[in-house]
Amino acid sequence: MSKTVSGLVVTDVSAFAKSIRKELLARETGTGDKPVSHLELLNILARSAGFRNFQHLKASDRKVETGFRSIRCDEQAACGAAESRFDARETPEPDPIDHRKIEQVLRCFDESGVLLRWSKKTSHQRLALWWCWAAMPSRRDLTEPEVNAVLKRMNDFGDHVLMRREMIDWGMMTRSLDCKVYRRVETKPPAEAASVIARLQQRKRANVLPRPSGREQFRLARMQVPPAASPTSA
């Protein structure tokens, strides 16, 4: 059996609270320490909202078409519209993506995802370093040699120190005061950076040659074995 739900809209919360307090004080004077029952509390709420009792409130829910609750229904509609507008404001709009800039940044990498050159544009440098950020081990402390090893492997222009310093300046990594402990900052990359990371991952996967099967490995091994020398006649 379904349960009928009765709604209540309060236009003046302050007056509503004062009325409830008055009802509760009057009840305490008459009944002592006896706890208020569920039905009594419903009647107190209904009377504080302007109804005779809870049954009167329930009856008004079934008489919307008569105009008895027309003002309250208008208020409910207005509240629903306001909540919808609030939800719309809270929903963040996706960041715009400059596809031309992404293509320009991708040209700085080779097919293996190695950064070949350091762009002169700051926005391009930052996008390129997000790829290095994605390669850093997450959620653990790193030493400077470990960070250097990753950056040396990911660039071909020979300045991993510059890359490390820029990643710290742009908030992609943190570094302790004694410069001994590094840590990747766990955050969501911007939309353009996420696109660059995804494209470079696809490029790396496409550049990996498939591993030969066992039979193919055996055939290649036989091809590399030099033929045996022919016996010479005595």
- All CATH 1.10.10 domain ranges of the chain, comma separated, are 99-207
- Residue 98's nearest CA partner among 132, 126, 118 is 126
Looking at residue 199, its pLDDT comes to 96
What amino acid is encoded at 179 in this protein? Answer: C
At residue 96, the pLDDT reads: 84
What are the pLDDT digits (tens) for 92-132? 667 789 999 999 999 999 999 999 999 999 999 999 999 99
CA–CA distances in Å: residue 63 to residues 16, 56, 68, 207, 213 = 23, 11, 6, 71, 77
pLDDT of residue 84: 55
Question: Cα(47)–Cα(5) distance, rounded to whole angstroms?
Answer: 18
**pTM value > 0.75:** no
Over residues 146-186, the pLDDT tens digits come to: 999 999 999 999 999 999 999 999 999 999 999 999 999 99
CATH architecture of 99-207: Orthogonal Bundle (1.10)
